[in-house]
Amino acid sequence: MADDGINEDGARVTIRTVAADAGVSVAAVSKVLRNAYGVSEALRTKVETSIERLGYRPSVAARGMRGQTFTLGVMLVGIDNPFLPSVYRGIESVTEKAGYKIMVGLGAARKETEVRLIEQMIDNRMDGIIIVATQLGGEVLESYAQKIPTVVIGHHEATAQQFDTINSDDVTGAELAVEALIKRGHKDIAMVALGLRRKNMADVSPQRERGYQRAMQRAGLAEYARIIQFPTADLPRGEAINALLTSPQRPSALFCWSDLDAIPILNAAVEAGLSVPDDLAIVGYDNSPVAALPLISLASIDQDGERMGRVGAEALFSRMAGRKVPEHILIRPTLIPRRSLYRPTV
């Protein structure tokens, strides 16, 4: 049992145990641990041997009291959102290489929960945090970012000074979707946007609305343009979908701000006997795994979440290294065409 960090006496193996075992000072061990400057090769190997043999593991708590914890906080908001796993993988791929740990905060998209999680991460002395898809406002974020290096992913705040933002170019994404629909001959194209309740000018949905409006205008279809605000709660959404599908002004095509709405709408449309895409074409946003299922086959805008995660982690590291001037990075999304946009040519 030499590898459990407890020696034969049942005493915990600390930096002192290692120092004694290696016949050096605690400072020497600490320096080896941190790859600090000024250790001879001989000393280093001696210490490393002892560490190995004793199964020593540095206490994160003790470290956190003075130096770095080598741990990053990642706040994932909206645990069910299919977009998050890919972002997380991207972040992880960068942090792993850098030898950093991750502490995840999971939370429903409630502001108080988010605040609690951020404070928890500050309390835990994270070296930096990445906040994904938050509902929090710019002022709150600025104030936290003052205390801890911060990167925000999936939340537009282009004038932020204290933190970086990584976003999909949501305006372009919406334009891609609308243009694809126009190319298929659609004119009466409506958009389904995120309900008012949770809206906030920094959110992604309004950006997508801008792209939608722009594309419609540019194509001279401004008269058709209309945005349907969808409720965010689940229950009333069923009614909203029905209302939309049975309305005499039902559009011929729909651009949805998220697959979260597009998928239920697609389902309801088919259930109601409509043909997709003939009676109603649909393009969603996020390219979630479900959209790719053959029975669903929902065309969608792909944000490349993994890339966003990677870029975000890299930005955080450069910020932790001392960069002060904020970076606001947009990543170009792509359209994934599927059956909800056009029938495959048989």
Partner DNA sequence: ATGAAAGCGCTAACAC
Partner DNA sequence: GTGTTAGCGCTTTCAT
Rounded distance, CA 157 to CA 141, Å? Answer: 10
- Determine phi and psi for 117, rounding to 5 degrees: -65, -45
Beta-carbon neighbour count of residue 318 at 10 Å? 14
Minimum CB separation of residue 110 from a second copy in Å reads 12
Minimum CB separation of residue 48 from DNA in Å reads 13
Judged by CB, which is closer to a second copy: 116, or 183? 116
Q: Which residues contact 161 (CB under 8 A, 6 or more apart)?
A: 142, 326
Minimum CB separation of residue 345 from a second copy in Å reads 17
When asked if residue 12 is in the footprint of DNA (CB under 7 A), the reply is yes
The residues binding a second copy (CB under 8 A) are 4-6, 57-65, 69, 79-80, 85, 88-89, 92, 101-106, 119-120, 122-125, 143, 147, 263-264, 266-268, 270-271, 289-290, 293-296
Minimum CB separation of residue 336 from DNA in Å reads 46
When asked if residue 20 is in the footprint of DNA (CB under 7 A), the reply is no
User: What is the length of the chain?
Assistant: 346
- Return the percent helix, strand and coil in the chain, to nearest 5: 45, 15, 40
Give the type of residue at 21.
D
Contact 87, 134 (CB under 8 A): no
Judged by CB, which is closer to DNA: 124, or 232? 124
Q: Which residues contact 260 (CB under 8 A, 6 or more apart)?
A: 81, 286, 288
Beta bridge partners of 189: 253
Which does residue 67 bind out of DNA, a second copy, none, counting CB within 5 to 8 angstroms by kind?
DNA
Rg over alpha carbons for the chain, rounded to the nearest Å, is 26
Judged by CB, which is closer to DNA: 15, or 141? 15
Q: Which two tokens stand for residue 296?
A: 């669903």
Judged by CB, which is closer to a second copy: 12, or 218? 12
Minimum CB separation of residue 3 from a second copy in Å reads 9
Judged by CB, which is closer to DNA: 8, or 223? 8
Q: Which parts of this chain interact with DNA (CB under 7 A)?
A: 12, 14-16, 23-28, 30-31, 33-34, 36-40, 42-43, 56-59, 62-63, 65-68
